[in-house]
Amino acid sequence: MTGPSVVVLDYGSGNVRSAVRALEHVGAVVELTGDPDAVLAADGLLVPGVGNFHSCMEQLSAAHGPLLIDRRLAGGRPVLGICVGMQVLFEGSDEPSPTPRPGLGEWPGRVERLRADIVPHMGWSHVRAAVGSALFAGIEDERFYFVHSYAVREWEMPVPTGAFTVVAPRVTTSTHGESFVAAVENGPLTATQFHPEKSGEAGLALLRNWLQTL
């Protein structure tokens, strides 16, 4: 019996082989590709991201990433963003760039430079897992590996008024100089600021938890 199928989106953003290997290790059938048919057909889509926010958005747009992500989410198909792959899900970033680009706007809020004595935040940190988190089930007290200078600060999805039933996203935080968003679980859309594929056994457990939601 094979595991769920996962596409790691290949759009030119950094070394993604470690993500492929980690997903394979926890039982996924993984394909590294930007092929639209494969992206839309997979049980899960992982969107990686390293480096500059705006460069990632440029590469992602060139690979039709925004459209593919929108189409998956419209159909309730799971997407997992990692590191800058999480940041681009927000409205924008204050990171310097000669050609600034807006984010995908799946969530409100901006990515800002961390206010800490030492930046970048590089190393292992504990998180404060959201109550009821499926992503952190059984690993609430573990540490995860971060490499970043920018992040979203404390944040909550605004709840619309009127006759709407809204499930609030589960927001997990961590601290480096100040509190920041370390992970979000929001229906089919999930993201982590840290690198689960570089976080040892805790990261593998988190990816296994994600696979179980597909």
Distance from C-alpha of 87 to C-alpha of 81, rounded to nearest angstrom: 8
Catalytic residue among 54, 121, 176, 195: 195
Q: Residue 75 is encoded by which pair of tokens?
A: 């159909």
Instruction: Give every CB contact of residue 210 below 8 A, 6+ residues apart in sequence.
Output: 44, 78, 80, 135, 190
DSSP lists the bridge partners of residue 47 as: 81
Alpha helices, H only, the chain: 17-25, 36-41, 53-62, 65-74, 84-87, 200-212
Catalytic residue among 54, 56, 83, 95: 83
Q: For residue 41, report the phi and psi dihedrals to the nearest 5 degrees.
A: -85, -20
Catalytic residue among 106, 142, 185, 197: 197
How crowded is the C-beta side of 177, counted as CA atoms within 13 Å? Answer: 15
Is 197 one of the annotated active-site residues of the chain?
A: yes
CB 202 within 8 A of CB 20: no
Distance from C-alpha of 177 to C-alpha of 144, rounded to nearest angstrom: 17
Q: Residue 142 is encoded by which pair of tokens?
A: 């573990």
| Residues with active-site annotation | 83, 195, 197
